[in-house]
Each structure stands twice: as structure tokens, then as C-alpha cells.
Chains A and B, each alone.
Chain A
Amino acid sequence: MSQTLTHTLNRPALRPDRNKGRPAWDEQPGAAGQTLKGGVLLLVLAVVLVPLWIVVLTSFSTSGAINRAGGLVLVPDGLTLDAYRAVLGDGPVTRALLVSLVITAAGTLLSMVVSVLCAYGLSRSRSFGHRTILMLLIVTMFVSGGLIPTYLVVTGLGGYGQYWALVLPGAVSVFNILVLRAFYSGTAADLIDAARMDGCSQWRILWSVVLPTSRAVTAVVALFYAVGYWNSFFNVMLYMPTESAKWPLQYVLLQYVSYGQSIPGTTNSGFGSLHQQSAPLSLQMAVVVLTLVPILLVYPFMQKHFKTGVLTGAIKG
């Protein structure tokens, strides 16, 4: 024990900066351990960030730079916006981008309205029938009809080739409702009772009391829904595999980059005219970056809200 103590007492004096946040009883790790840990963490960071760097850089590179690099570019050589000009011209990628944005916005709005209402409706303990409805919800997390019966229901309702088929079947996430509900159950019961006494309707309470006090968790759930809509492609494969004019961006990316097909209807669009100036690879990477950008844009906010959401939950809970 004495050895440990002298060890920990001596070290901070030598390297005060390294020991910030380390409790006094904790011994300073050895050099080998530190190096190994640093190496592992660096490797982890590199594995995530380097591919993203290469993809983004290639999308901004001139065809000369891409040719010199023999493919993907690792070091900035010549930079240009040509690929984005070509992709964002009057072509299928622009249309797919718009489709994706609209589906994501509309779907997220619908999902949030439905989920917030349902979560609040179930969050008041002792309300009539809430346990029955809750069980009705939870059952769907364990038992599902599966792919084909769902497909038959959606197509039976005339969903083939319709945009609603991409939104409605997955509009309700029971898990998200449970997250919201757990939060609402913990929000200021006194405040709600007081509002009730003052004669507020439940709708009014939800709008003026519950929602303003739970912005963080609402934001986190909205972002989870939004990411889900933005990233989905299988329902396109299922419900509109042939109607290329309606495809959202992920499916266009799949066709164009992964399957290496040319996008139908590109002959008279921006692709044809700029094909000689920009290497196709930079165009492909530009499409990749376009699918990535919205995620990267909302990500910092998501992080912040995630943290505050957890914190407020802990304080109020």
C-alpha cells in the first residue's frame, strides 16, 4: 500500500497536466500501457475518419488529381467544385435529393405528431385503459407478421409505387414512444396537476407544459426518426423498384455507385455534358457526400441534445 501511495503522490508533481481528472488514489499507468491505449484509440479514430476524408476529398478533386492518384485521392492535389456542379444540375440526383428531403421532413413530422400524442396519452398513470393500449404497442416489438404479410397489406391498400408506402408502414416506432413516455411520466407532475386544476385541457397541457419542458428528448427522438427516413432504401426496393423518377437519394446512390449502373434519364442532363471534364469517380463521391452531409449537419446538435436530454432526465426523474 505504501508503495502505491508514494507512487501516486510522486507522479502528479512530475506531470501535472497528465493527471488532471485522475483521482489521487489511482496510480499513473505505465508508459507501455499508455502507448498501447493511445495506439488503439488512434487506430479507432483513423478507421472511422480516414475513409470519410478520402471520400470527401475525392469528390472535391479535379480529374487531374484523380488520375495522378490513380483513383481515390488521399492528399489534396487540385480542388474543384465541378463534380457538385454536375451532380446538382438539372439531373436525377437533384431530384432524388429533393425527394429524400421531402420524405424525411414529412415523415418526421408525421411520426413526431403521432408519437408525441401517443406517448403523452399513455404517460398519465391511473388514466383509463392506458395499460391495455401500452401492451397493444409492446406486443408489436416482439411479434411481427414479417416481410411478406406486411408487403401484402401495403400493396393491398394500393401502396405500390406510392410515396406513402415509404412513410406510413414504419411511421410509428414503439421504442421511440416508450422513450418519450418515460420522459413525460417523469415531467413535473405537480405542474400538470396545477394546470389541471386551472381547467387546462390535456391538449393544452401537452402543448404548453409538457413539450416546452422536454425539448431535448423531443429533439433526440425527432432526429432518430429523421435519420431513419433519410437512410431507408429497402422500402423503395420493395414498393417502387422500377419507377426511377420517384427514387430517393439512397436508392440512387445504390444504383449508381454500388451497382455501377448509370442513372436512367441522364443523357439529357448535367451528367452527359460535364462527363468529359469531371472524372466519374468524383461524381460518385459527390453523391456519397450528399447523402452524408445532412447527417453531418444535424449530428452536432443531436450530440448536444442527447447530453442535455440525459441530464434533464436525471435531474427531473
Chain B
Amino acid sequence: MAGTFTTKTKKVGAGSSGGTEPAADAEPDADGRARSRKRPGRAEEGGLTWRLRLRRDRSLILMTLPAVALLLVFNYAPLFGLITAFEYYDPLVGVLHSDWAGLDQFRALFNDPLFWGALRNTLWLSFVQLVLFFPIPIALALVLNSVTSERLRNFIQSVVYLPHFFSWVLAITIFQQMLGGAGVLNHFLAQHNLGTWDVMTDPHTFALLVTSQAVWKEAGWGIIVFLAALAAIDQNLYEAAAVDGAGRWRRMWHITLPGMRGVIVLMLVLRLGNALTVGFEQFLIQRDAVGHDTADVLDTFSFYYGITTNNYSYGAAAGLFKSVISLLLIWGANRVAHAFGEDGLYRK
């Protein structure tokens, strides 16, 4: 499986980066091998054969080996491990000798109400985050960009970026202390005889809770890309528009938003492509508090019904299902971006 991907993408790489390579020398290649006729741009560089180039660059290739080795072991080997999704994997006999299951694991998966529950939760939470989370960094970036004092702007940026560097354990602990049963909120409610509301264990508001956690932790960091897009807008456009009588809002509508369009579409593509990934660690930590009916998403499903139950093949099948749908989503979201005339994640 890895092999097919490599060859396919190699072709793409050679084709797309051809433009940056210098044109092949006018003289034909000295030794005129068949190989160099196939790829003239590469073999003729500096009139060197691939053997000489290999010798010249061997230390560069050597440098990449540790990283390549780690990726082969921990990223490519697991790709072959996906075979377990089609087996009745038994740790005692290993991947190669386990009994073949065909599509049985997937059949079981699609008949499992817990799996459909996890899928439903994933899509629902993803949707809530898209609607409530996505616009916030854009709005924040616009507000921050309109602050004229540079020092104040830097200070606010430092503060809002900070939670991104906290772990989920820490972020959720802080939420627990603020909104939990013994937290600041309930202390305040109790003092004013307003009853109690343990937000952290309430399944009905779980989607809002995890979204506000995501906003607290990541929305500030999310403004970086939008601020960069805003900084790239030509200031002369604003001046020209102002001189022509365009007010604040019209300038925002006709200059700022079109200037951010590319980035917004890109972030939207990424968000849609990752629709099946909604904060794995975040749900792992809070599952016990709100119950698995509410907090199980596809990623945690693999963990709880694959690893903790030693039902590896079942979990691998769920993981593979997620990966395939995710790839389709990325592809589809890109098609949509291209339809709107934007680059999206990769170009056409």
C-alpha cells in the first residue's frame, strides 16, 4: 500500500517542481544513457550521471536516513499493519499468521450501535465546532488588526496564544476548577442561592462545553494565519478607497475580506477534511465524566473498543474506516475550493 502511494506521489513531485529546476543544458548528455533520455531535466544537471550525483550527494542522503528510518518504522510499518483490519488478529501468532476475516470486522462494525453513536457524536461535535469555533479567530484577527498601538497588539497576541501551549490535561483541569461541581461558577451560584449546575458532567451541554474548551485553547492561536493574511494586504488599497470615499465598513467588505478569502477557504478545507477528527485527548479525559454515549468519537472508539478490550482487529477496522472517509473528505473539500477558484490544500 505504501509502495503505490510513493510511486504515485513521486511522479506528482517531479512534475510539479519541474518549473523550479533550471532548464536542461543545451548540449546533449555526454554518455547518452537510455535513462537520461527518459528524464532529461534530472540526469543532465551539470552534465553528471546519476552515479556521480549519488557520490557527490551521499552525505546529504545520509543525513536524511535517521528521519527516514523512524518514519519507515513508525509510520510506514503501521500502514502494513492495517491488514489486521481484515483479520481476526491474535497477538500470540502475529499479523502474518492470524486468521483471515475478510470484511467480517467491518460487517460487525456497521451492525454496532456504539459505532454509529460514535460516528454521530463525531459529526455533531464537528458541526458545532465549525459553526461556533470557526468564525471566532477571523473576528478576533479583525478586531486585533484594528488596534493601532503596536505594544497593546503584541501584548494581546502574547496572551491569546498562550493556552495553545498548554496540554489538554491542564486546559481541562482549569475548566474543571472554573465550571466544575466545586468550581468558581458553582460557588458563585451557591452563594446567590441559584442552585448548582455541574457543567463538566452534564451530557446535554457537552457539545458546547468541548467547543468552548477548544475556543479557549486554540482560537487565539488560530488568529496567526489570519493576521498574516491581513498584513499581506496592500495598504495603498485602503488609502485609495478612503480617498474615494469608502467608509470603514465598505473598506472591510471590499478590501479586507477579499484579501482574507484565500486563507479562509484554506482553513475551511482543512476543517472539513478533518471533520472526523475532533480533539481526541480532550474526549479521552472527559469520557468518564459525561459517559460514553456522549463522549465517544471515532478516535476514542478505536481506543476503547480496540486496545482496552484487546479486540485489535475491530479497532483497526474502525480506524481504517475513518482514514478512508477522511481522505475522501479532504479530496472533496479541495474540489469545492477549486470550484470557488481558490487553491485549497493543493493546486489542481
Do A and B bind? Answer: yes
Interface residues of A in 214-242 (CB under 8 A from B): 227, 230-234, 237-238
Question: Residues of A contacting B330 with CB < 8 Å?
Answer: 142
Chain A's nearest CB lies how many Å from the CB of B348?
17
Asked if A199 is at the interface of the complex by the 8 Å CB criterion, the answer is no
List chain B residues, Cβ under 8 A from A72: 177, 183-184, 187
Evaluate contact between A21 and B150: CB separation under 8 angstroms.
yes
Which A residue's beta carbon lies closest to that of B285? Answer: A258
**Closest chain B residue to A42 by CB distance?**
B156
Instruction: Determine the chain B residues whose CB is within 8 A of the CB of A143 once the complex forms.
Output: 2, 5, 79, 323, 327
With both chains docked as a complex, state the minimum distance between the C-beta of A249 and any C-beta of chain B, in angstroms: 9
Report if A11 contacts B (CB, 8 A): no
Quick check: is B53 within 8 A (CB to CB) of the other chain? Answer: yes
Inter-chain contacts of A121 with B (CB < 8 A): 60-64
Chain B residues with CB below 8 A from A134, complex form: 13
A29 with B167: CB separation less than 8 A: no
What per-residue 1/0 map shows which CB atoms of B49-73 lie under 8 Å from chain A?
Answer: 0100110110111111011101101
Contacts of A40 in B (CB 8 A): 143
B106 CB → nearest A CB, Å: 14
Which of A81-89, A91-99, A165-173 touches B? Answer: A165-173
Classify chain B: how many residues form its interface, as a range: 35 or more
Bound-complex Cα distance A41 to B78 (A): 46
Residue pair B184, A231 in contact (C-beta under 8 Å): no
Find A140's partner among B62, B76, B319 (CB 8 Å cutoff): B76
Assess whether B78 is in contact with A149, with CB atoms less than 8 Å apart.
yes
Question: Are A45 and B156 in contact (CB-based, < 8 A)?
Answer: yes
Question: Is the C-beta of A101 less than 8 angstroms from some C-beta in chain B?
Answer: no
A145-165 contacts to B (CB < 8 Å) = 145-154, 156-157
Instruction: Give the distance to chain B from A287, nearest Cβ to Cβ, in Å.
Output: 9
* Distance A136 CA – B10 CA, assembled complex (angstroms): 8
Interface of A is mostly: helix
> Would you call A269 an interface residue if the criterion is a C-beta within 8 Å of the partner chain's C-beta atoms?
no
In the assembled complex, B162 has its CB within 8 A of some CB on chain A: yes
Residues of B within 8 A of A142 (CB): 327, 330
Q: Is the CB of B78 within 8 A of A129?
A: no
Min CB distance, A203 to chain B, in Å? 6
* B57:A231 contact, CB within 8 angstroms: no
With both chains docked as a complex, state the minimum distance between the C-beta of B104 and any C-beta of chain A, in angstroms: 16
Q: A26 on the interface (CB 8 Å rule)?
A: yes
A316 within 8 Å of B by Cβ? no
Since A41-B143, A71-B182, A295-B162 are in contact, a sample of 12 more A-B pairs with Cβ atoms closer than 8 Å, ordered by chain A residue number, is: A4-B245, A27-B247, A44-B140, A44-B160, A126-B22, A128-B57, A146-B82, A149-B82, A151-B307, A152-B81, A172-B74, A258-B173
Q: List the interface of chain B (C-beta within 8 A of A).
A: 2, 5-6, 9-10, 12-14, 17, 20-22, 45-46, 50, 53-54, 56-57, 59-64, 66-68, 70-71, 73-82, 84, 89, 91, 94-95, 140, 143-144, 146-150, 156, 158-163, 165-170, 172-174, 176-178, 182-184, 187, 191, 216, 220, 235, 238-239, 242-245, 247-248, 280-281, 284-285, 288, 299, 302-303, 306-307, 312, 315-316, 319-320, 322-323, 327, 330
A-B contacts, 11 of them at CB < 8 A, read A20-B149, A25-B242, A41-B143, A117-B63, A117-B67, A120-B60, A125-B21, A146-B319, A177-B67, A257-B176, A303-B158
Instruction: Pick the 3 closest A-B CB pairs, nearest first.
Output: A145-B78, A149-B81, A121-B63
